């Protein structure tokens, strides 16, 4: 018979490192290290300040552009580094651990660019992608609308051909950088075929200084406050015909493909947020004393911490597996939806538990756990609410 072994408290490490790189493919480890150093120097120390003020972190974005860590999935021929999905995920985990709001701003600076380098012309890439890759401009992706969010085939903003122009009318909501961007990728209705609802939308490049484009910030958010979203109104907004990306009617399929990559990134949002929650809670529970001992000495707390780590590691394993599957184009929609759902819900669960172990201090605005807890609520919604992900998982199960 083996006697159970109990470790003395002194053998339990006080700090912890959850985002180790052993699961990260070798070619992505250098950029992960760069992202970590940047996050440590620029994001972490400013996280609370921007969360409280709700200001757009211009100077951190500029530093990220300067350090070649923003918009660098854009291929080298258009001025980027051509970072692949694994490299983006590795960076994402690091940035979101440091702060989700600032991280979202860094990531949204080139939101939607992938659609142009995957489906656009060389001229479009040269004119619109290069300035983003070189840190001169920023982009956005406008899909969601005030009256429609989850139903991608139901979006109503319309683009009508008039001579050699497209005329856009309608509204978009929740659009990252809708105010700050130099141009956006727009998902708009170009057909009404009820037999083929997935062929009714197309993608366009819309410069934000075009007449008929009006954007204002949406009301202040309770989470990811260092990122900005907009309500956009299009009123007889005319763009040249050459601003159509790819073929008419291919918008839905382009978007589905784009979201497969995006959902792996959003799984990374969940992992980064969860790592922050667990690390913060680990430190707190090993410092806080009650009943003459640290609260981490209570077995109930130890089991809670163990569950948090278990859930984190499970989600991280699934995410990196999903990343490989999506990169290889193997049932990408299924794996992306699974990774996104698991990692983002795990982040909600571990941050909730972290709040409990922080006791009354959990609700103090100045506490990192309070910020992380609020931020964790967002990735379960954006890039498709998790109910939609479950539809995809069920529908595409092998």
Ligand X SMILES: Cc1cc2nc3c(=O)[nH]c(=O)nc-3n(C[C@H](O)[C@H](O)[C@H](O)COP(=O)(O)OP(=O)(O)OC[C@H]3O[C@@H](n4cnc5c(N)ncnc54)[C@H](O)[C@@H]3O)c2cc1C
Distance CA 200, CA 324 (A): 31
Considering only residues 282 to 341 of the shown chain, the ones binding ligand X according to CB under 6 A are: none
The stretch near ligand X (CB under 6 A) out of 159-167, 172-180, 206-214, 270-278 is 172-180
Distance CA 25, CA 94 (A): 15
The stretch near ligand X (CB under 6 A) out of 119-127, 173-181, 233-241, 319-327 is 173-181
Angle, alpha carbons 262-263-266 (nearest 5°): 90
The stretch near ligand X (CB under 6 A) out of 118-126, 168-176, 249-257, 271-279 is 168-176
Asked if 378 is part of the footprint of ligand X (rule: CB under 6 A), the reply reads yes
Asked if 344 is part of the footprint of ligand X (rule: CB under 6 A), the reply reads no
The one among 139, 384, 389, 392 contacting ligand X by CB under 6 A: 384
Residues 222-241 as x/- pattern, contact with ligand X by CB under 6 A: --x----x------------
Residues 117-156 as x/- pattern, contact with ligand X by CB under 6 A: ------------------------xxxx----xx------
The one among 38, 95, 174, 252 contacting ligand X by CB under 6 A: 174
The answer to whether the beta carbons of residues 239 and 204 sit under 8 Å apart is: yes
Q: Min. distance of Cβ 82 from ligand X in angstroms?
A: 23
Q: What is the DSSP string of 288-304?
A: -EETTEEGGGSHHHHHH
Q: Say which DSSP state 218 is in.
A: P
Q: Min. distance of Cβ 223 from ligand X in angstroms?
A: 8
The answer to whether the beta carbons of residues 333 and 397 sit under 8 Å apart is: no
Active site residues: 383
Please identify which residue in the block is written with the tokens 């984190």: 312
Residue 47 in 3-state DSSP? Answer: helix
The stretch near ligand X (CB under 6 A) out of 169-177, 243-251, 311-319, 340-348 is 169-177
Q: How many helices (H) and strands (E) does the chain have?
A: 13, 10
* Nearer to ligand X among residue 149 and residue 246 (C-beta): 149
> Which runs of E-coded beta strand occur in the chain?
139-142, 158-162, 165-176, 183-189, 201-207, 213-217, 229-240, 244-245, 289-290, 293-294
Using CB atoms, what's the residue nearest to ligand X? 149
Residues that contact ligand X, how many (by CB under 6 A)? 19
Q: Min. distance of Cβ 391 from ligand X in angstroms?
A: 6
Structure tokens at 269: 């949002």
Neighbours of 191 (CB within 10 A): 15
Structure tokens at 95: 């940035």
Residue 215 in 3-state DSSP? Answer: strand
Asked if 362 is part of the footprint of ligand X (rule: CB under 6 A), the reply reads no
Asked if 350 is part of the footprint of ligand X (rule: CB under 6 A), the reply reads no
The stretch near ligand X (CB under 6 A) out of 45-53, 67-75, 339-347, 384-392 is 384-392
The answer to whether the beta carbons of residues 126 and 65 sit under 8 Å apart is: no
Distance CA 186, CA 206 (A): 7
* Nearer to ligand X among residue 101 and residue 354 (C-beta): 101
Q: Min. distance of Cβ 79 from ligand X in angstroms?
A: 23
Asked if 385 is part of the footprint of ligand X (rule: CB under 6 A), the reply reads yes
Asked if 381 is part of the footprint of ligand X (rule: CB under 6 A), the reply reads yes
Contact footprint for ligand X (CB under 6 A): 111, 141-144, 149-150, 174-176, 224, 229, 378, 381-382, 384-385, 387-388
């Amino acid at each position: 018979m083996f006697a159970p072994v109990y470790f003395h408290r002194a053998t339990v490490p006080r700090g912890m490192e959850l985002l180790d790189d052993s699961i990260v493919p070798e070619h992505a480890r250098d950029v992960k290290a760069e992202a970590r150093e940047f996050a440590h120097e620029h994001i972490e120390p400013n996280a609370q300040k921007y969360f409280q003020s709700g200001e757009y972190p211009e100077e951190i974005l500029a530093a990220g552009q300067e350090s070649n860590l923003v918009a660098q999935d854009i291929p080298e021929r258009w001025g980027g580094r051509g970072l692949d999905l694994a490299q983006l995920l590795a960076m994402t985990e690091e940035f979101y651990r440091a702060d989700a709001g600032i991280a979202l701003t860094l990531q949204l600076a080139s939101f939607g660019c992938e659609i142009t380098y995957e489906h656009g012309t060389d001229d479009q890439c040269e004119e619109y992608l290069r300035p983003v890759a070189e840190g001169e401009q920023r982009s956005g992706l406008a899909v969601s609308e005030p009256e429609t969010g989850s139903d991608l085939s139901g979006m109503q903003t319309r683009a009508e051909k008039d001579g050699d122009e497209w005329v856009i009318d309608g509204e978009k909501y929740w659009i990252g950088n809708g105010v700050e961007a130099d141009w956006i990728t727009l998902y708009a209705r170009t057909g009404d075929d009820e037999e083929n609802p997935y062929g009714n939308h197309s993608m366009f490049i819309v410069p934000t200084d075009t007449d008929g484009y009006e954007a204002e910030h949406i009301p202040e958010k309770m989470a990811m406050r260092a990122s900005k979203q907009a309500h956009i109104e299009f009123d007889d907004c005319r763009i040249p015909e050459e601003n159509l990306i790819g073929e008419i009617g291919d918008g839905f399929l382009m978007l589905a493909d784009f979201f497969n990559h995006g959902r792996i990134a959003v799984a990374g949002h969940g992992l980064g947020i969860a790592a922050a929650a667990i690390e913060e809670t680990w430190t707190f529970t090993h410092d806080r004393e009650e009943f003459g001992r640290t609260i981490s000495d209570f077995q109930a707390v130890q089991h809670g911490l163990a569950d948090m780590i278990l859930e984190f590691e499970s989600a991280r394993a699934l995410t990196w597996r999903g990343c490989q599957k999506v990169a290889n184009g193997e049932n990408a929609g299924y794996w992306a939806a699974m990774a996104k759902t698991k990692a983002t819900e795990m982040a909600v669960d571990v941050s909730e538990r972290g709040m409990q172990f922080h006791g009354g201090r959990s609700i103090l605005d100045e506490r990192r756990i309070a910020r992380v807890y609020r931020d964790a609520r967002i990735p379960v919604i954006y890039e498709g609410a998790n109910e939609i992900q479950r539809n995809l998982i069920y529908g595409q199960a092998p």
